[in-house]
Amino acid sequence: MIEDLSQEEWAEQLASDDNAVILDVRTDAEVSEGIIPNAIHIDFYKGQDFINEVEALDKSKNYYLYCRSGNRSGQACQIMEQLGFENAYNLEGGMLQWTGDIVDID
């Protein structure tokens, strides 16, 4: 299932999903401003490298994607669907509307 979820839906579903992986598809510069805890960072703008890195992920997991506004992560969800991922959820509104925890990346 590839789905756009509201901020509330995304956070609630993520919290109760023990098979979840959070994927941040923003740029390095954006990520340097803070990241959702435990997220994996793969920059959408890396093109083929992005596809290669995503392809290597475990397809049996449920992926929760976000970017700055929800646009790139929505496109990334569609790419993941084409690559054979069954469950990818896009955070509508992205980090611009995120009110949950943010941590500094090392």
Residues near 21 by beta carbon (within 8 Å), at least 6 away in sequence: 40, 57, 58, 61, 62, 63, 64
The secondary structure element, H or E, covering residue 12 is helix 7-15
Q: What is the pLDDT of residues 29-60, one digit of tens each?
A: 999 999 999 999 999 999 999 999 999 999 99
Would you call 77 a catalytic residue per the annotation? no
Looking at 1.10.10.10, 3.50.50.60, 2.60.40.1120, 3.40.250.10, the CATH number of the domain 2-96 comes to 3.40.250.10
Q: Which of 42, 67, 76, 80 is catalytic?
A: 67
Domain boundaries defined on the chain: 2-96
- pLDDT tens digits along 5-28: 999 999 999 999 999 999 999 999
